[in-house]
Amino acid sequence: MCPPPDQPVTANGSGNGKEEMVPIVNDGPHISSSTNGQVKKMNENVAEQPPAVKSHKGLYGRASDFLSNTSNWSIIESTLREGEQFANAFFTLETKIKIAKMLDEFGVEYIELTSPAASPESKAHCEAICKLGLKKTKILTHIRCHMDDARLAVETGVDGVDVVIGTSSFLREHSHGKDMTWITKTAIEVIEFVKSKGIEIRFSSEDSFRSELVDLLSIYRTVDKIHVNRVGVADTVGCADPRQVYDLVRTLRGVVSCDIECHFHNDTGCSIANAYAALEAGATHIDTSILGIGERNGITPLGGLIARMMVADPEYVKGKYNLSMLRELENVVAEAVEISVPFNNYITGFCAFTHKAGIHAKAILANPSTYEILNPADFGMTRYVSIGHRLTGWNAVKSRVEQLNLNLTDDQVKDATAKIKELADVRTQSMEDVDMILRIYHTGIQTGDLKVGQSAVLDKLLEKHMPSRDASPNGSANGNKRARIEGATA
């Protein structure tokens, strides 16, 4: 699960409150407001900084930029279709309804459901979700290019039907066994039937990047002439790279006048980059799933696409989607399919906005955009600076000193930091450890028992006030941490 915004995570992601992270709030240009009222504001007089991202476009933008839809695109969210193909997935109707309502609140333009031809339950679920009366989101179902499937689909009450058939030689020979003449004839029949019901229709090739270009362009041109809403490009096996995607979509953009939808699998790690390349080339719709779940390694993750597009046009993304819901969406789906949100997950992973290196921490305190291209506050998240380790810097420790309302000079903070680093050479210090060390140090300075540079004296003070553990770097690190400081006050 992703950590809630008011509970910093531990080094192992457990979020049990004994973390080694300092929540950092900065009211500079990268951050609009604090998400933790207990954290003292830092650097209140930060000078105005340039934006973290500058557009590559300008007076001399590339001619191809005129095709770009990176500021004009829509999401077809396929967790309830592609996501059902994930190895661990089994969604009850109750779970599907919960996810559908959340996706509607998040603001996706479309939700794609499993074909009603898949099973009686799939048909019943499709009908139930169509009756929810979602406010923003249209309901689609994904079917084979077959009249029987089309008839079932239109009976469910969906807003649109996504038709697909394999066009590569691999699938024509080893899957459905049909040639391009049969595919074209059947596609026209299915499309005309669905259109007659007054709902949207998309026609997609399957395994597009292993299909013959002449076959693809021929059938896309044919279905465009009978006015499909969208044509689809599918990297079914995840073999495509961004350059291939750009070339195919740009070529297709010159052939059809309808919208272009793209579906990218992540078998070779290119799904997000491919989605972005497709939009640059003129695509209009991207298929996603929450956490990227789907067949094999899944498809373009919703959060990953949002992260990429926030860099391209943050105001456009923030104007369309309720970004603070992303963490909750991912938690719900992760629980449903019995997986954990990865530590390095886009935006919501517990390491996404965590800073550790001392040089990084200093810059982050001055201006977060130095080492963050995304603003965690846009997603209801909080940044953290990890300080209980050997790489920590005194600027990060100083921020914690100020949050604890301790009165220490820079030289004293540096001295305390040296002790933290010394102890961290034995084992990483929890946030609780760091706070106790700082309070003991502060009390020693205030009473006159300790001066800067008196490491041995500090060791004795730590041993006295932290009796449950040996504070010496040469001692045991296995003591429990239940004992609390008495008399070492702020």
Q: Among 245, 254, 237, which Cα is nearest to 166's? A: 237
pLDDT digit string (tens) for 197-253? 999 999 999 999 999 999 999 999 999 999 999 999 999 999 999 999 999 999 999
Q: Among 101, 206, 190, which Cα is nearest to 154's? A: 190
SS3 165: strand
Average pLDDT over residues 426-438: 86
- Alpha-carbon distance 106 to 325, whole Å? 6
Model confidence at 335: pLDDT above 80: yes
Task: Please give the CATH topology (third level) of the domain spanning 67-337.
Answer: TIM Barrel (3.20.20)
Q: Among 413, 428, 436, 419, which Cα is nearest to 485's? A: 436
pLDDT of res. 33: 32
Q: What is the pTM of this model?
A: 0.78
| CA triple 56-374-11, angle to 5 deg | 145
pLDDT digit string (tens) for 54-105? 544 444 445 557 899 999 999 999 999 999 999 999 999 999 999 999 999 9
Active site residue 360: yes
Q: Name the helix (H) or strand (E) containing 375.
A: none
Sheet containing 354-355: order of strands = 21-24, 383-386, 354-355
pLDDT of res. 433: 87
Average pLDDT over residues 307-333: 97
Which segment of 62-71, 180-189, 354-363, 442-451 scores lowest on mean pLDDT? 354-363
Residues 6+ positions from 153 with CB-CB distance below 8 Å: 115, 116, 117, 141, 143, 161, 194
Radius of gyration of the chain, Cα coordinates, nearest whole angstrom: 28
pLDDT of res. 74: 98
Residues 6+ positions from 475 with CB-CB distance below 8 Å: none
pLDDT of res. 30: 43
Q: What whole-number percentage of the chain has pLDDT above 90? A: 62
DSSP state of 23: E
pLDDT of res. 474: 44
The mean predicted confidence, pLDDT, of the chain is 84
Candidates 263, 360, 389, 442; catalytic one: 360
Q: Name the helix (H) or strand (E) containing 51.
A: none
SS3 163: strand
Average pLDDT over residues 147-172: 91
Q: Name the helix (H) or strand (E) containing 310.
A: helix 302-312
Kindly list the domain boundaries of the chain, sorted by start residue: 67-337, 354-465
